[in-house]
Structure 1
Amino acid sequence: MPSAQLPRAVFAMDPVHLPRLFPPPLMARLRQTAAVDPALVVRDPADPAVAEPLAGAEVLITGWGCPRLDAGALAAAPRLRAVLHAAGSVRGLIGDALWERGVTVSSAAAANAAPVAEYTLAMILLAGKDVFAHRERFRGTHALPAAGEMSAVGNMGRRVGIIGASRVGRRLLELLRPHDFEVLLCDPYVHASEAATLGAELLPLDELLAHSDIVSLHAPDLPGTYRMLGRERLALIRDGGTLINTSRGALIDPDALAEELVSGRLRAVLDVTEPEPLPAGSPLYRLPNVFLTPHIAGSLGNELERLGRVVVEELERLAAGLPPAYEVRHADLVRVA
């Protein structure tokens, strides 16, 4: 298609992400579908230098570092008809004015769920083998464990509780299928028959916590999920249980969690915390029963190309007159991130 007939697109994100999101072959494919200048990346819609390209933009390709698309940004882009987000949640990005105008919004959140689910599966398997504790012991003793020390180790029949059948939660449920786990699920929007199809037994939250050896948190960060795991609920997890959080730190009461971990009653794998990062003096950095990672479960490095590919495919669908495969609707935001 001649470039004059291609829809006009503009990037709006931190430009540091652009080469990973759209490496040369993928950028070439993108430019076959839209008239876009890879050297032009909007950071501030009010910048006079971007006024002309924004005024003609029909599509905004956004990502981490994109300015909020509020009424002012929307006024600078009167022809805008689609926002394709090469990242996860659009909750903090999209203002009411954009929804009111009826602009189509798509997100690569489903693609971003893949590495989070993979990270979580790895941590579940390692936790079931008590890898973190044995690493600490081995560092100190330099001796192989006695047979009696291994009686509680293993993943055969381990009960894994999944909180939230989100995109990540559902992908994790798929990844758990080949393993000999007993999988429990809590999600207020899922019925028992659907949970069974997903390979899990549906339980209320308190029952799931009380019956799981490993609990993995995949609920969205919403007002209704704030501090959903407080002191009373954390106390329901059995002694020696492991809590994995790759969602958001705000879902857990940080003081109550710290008390449980300092006491040694629970173990935790935390890729997210509140605050983030934790202050330098936090005991969680030093505890042998806590495995902390710096928010790395989501797409990083070469995984970003997966997000860019979703954007290119969505743009190709729009150019062909098809609806996006990963459309985000305003009404969905009451229950998804």
Structure 2
Amino acid sequence: MSNNEENLKVALAMSQAVSHRIFPARVLDYLESGATLLNREPMTEFSSERSLALLAEAQALVTGWGCAMINDEVLHAAPNLRYILHAGGTVKNHVDKVCWERGVEISTAADANAIPVAEYTVAMVILANKRVLQVGRKVHTLRTIVHAEEEYPDLGNYNKRVGVIGASKIGRHVIRMLGQYELEVVVADPFLSDAEATALGAAKVTLAELAATSDVVSLHAPSLPSTLNMINAELIASFKPGATFINTARGELVDQAALLERIQQDDLFAVLDVTTPWDLPSDSGLFTHPNVLVTPHMAGSLGTELERLAMSTVGEAHRLARGEALKFRLPPEQLDLTA
């Protein structure tokens, strides 16, 4: 990278709908204050005459959801391309590994996208320990005052144990945010050292201990072949009576049948932002059981939070224009771990 790239030439690549949601005019104005935007309309493919002309000039692609695959053919049409700056989390669906092989640097907004997921998680942890979800449902069902403490004498957050599975970007944000509460936070992650866990504000424990001793268990592991059904029947059976399980990761990480079976024993609660399949059958017990709150994959960036993704990506473009290194560079070995 040169010491000064004020004329960094940037092109957008994503669906039209995503471009209009994430990159409104004011954000594009800000992008243009520190870089050269070749066209305000995104490329939705890489084969048209217009797209080929943009690729021939672009030094950086700002990508978003719906971006076409950037493969060897695209790189051949983009001889000056040096950076791919993604306004989202994973780039698995549109960045071929050949990009790294050709020396293209990749950046993502995964860290920015982790913030609302962590906020959602922490909110649910606090509500779960306070038994707000359960008491609220009873109030609506009975249509009268419910004596919360008589129903749930263990309610409250003071000195409760919260277990975080996976010290991912989201998991780390969750641990840091929980630090402002008088909670005991534990974490299970085979790649995290005891010292790293302590620095984050948690104690490292085994997955088995976390499952058996936590009042709230929150899942933040990546979706990999090795993590398929990692929350298995044996682990689910070990959850404390009265515990709450939160999943904002991926549905396939959980033995959903075993989870429902345990929930139907009426001593486990669940907050599920992800399921398998994503759109559950209308007669699923996860919809009908009062111990379950299902939300439609809304923990991640939505609404006003989308602009944070854009601003993170614009910040990367401006760093490059100033001759600085990328702050959120994605090395190839982290591709499968970044959601």
Higher mean Cα deviation, 219-228 or 78-87?
Answer: 219-228
Contact 1:20 1:302 in 2 (8 A): no
Contact 1:164 1:187 in 2 (8 A): yes
Q: What's the secondary structure of 1:33's corresponding residue?
A: coil
- 1:33 aligns with 34
Shift of 1:334: 5.0
Higher mean Cα deviation, 305-314 or 72-81?
Answer: 72-81
Contact 1:46 1:76 in 2 (8 A): no
- 1:211 aligns with 213
Unaligned residue ranges in structure 1 (runs of 5+): none
Paired residue type of 1:304: L
Cα pair distance change 1:275/1:311, threshold 3 Å: same
Aligned residues: 334
Cα pair distance change 1:5/1:112, threshold 3 Å: closer
Contact 1:132 1:288 in 2 (8 A): no
Paired residue type of 2:101: E
Contact 1:241 1:267 in 2 (8 A): yes
CA distance in 2, matches of 1:150, 1:307: 40
Paired residue type of 1:279: P
- 1:249 aligns with 251
Q: What's the secondary structure of 1:183's corresponding residue?
A: strand
Contact 1:262 1:287 in 2 (8 A): yes
Shift of 1:165: 1.1
- 2:194 aligns with 192
- 1:9 aligns with 10
Percent identity over the alignment is 41
Which whole-Å deviations, capped at 9, do the CAs of 1:117-151 have from their partners, x for residues lacking one? 11101100111111121122112222323352231
Which whole-Å deviations, capped at 9, do the CAs of 1:34-81 have from their partners, x for residues lacking one? 322454211221233311111221111001111122223323322211
Matched, 1:235 2:237: yes
- How do 1:1-337 residues align onto structure 2 when only pairs under 5 Å count? 6-146=7-147, 147-333=149-335, 335-337=337-339
Cα pair distance change 1:48/1:265, threshold 3 Å: farther
TM-score (norm 1): 0.94
Which whole-Å deviations, capped at 9, do the CAs of 1:142-176 have from their partners, x for residues lacking one? 23233522312111111100011111111111111
Unaligned residue ranges in structure 2 (runs of 5+): none
CA distance in 2, matches of 1:19, 1:259: 43
Which whole-Å deviations, capped at 9, do the CAs of 1:244-282 have from their partners, x for residues lacking one? 011111111222222222333321101111111212221
Q: What's the secondary structure of 1:242's corresponding residue?
A: strand
CA distance in 2, matches of 1:25, 1:169: 32
CA distance in 2, matches of 1:181, 1:322: 40
Contact 2:131 2:152 in 1 (8 A): no
CA distance in 2, matches of 1:156, 1:301: 33
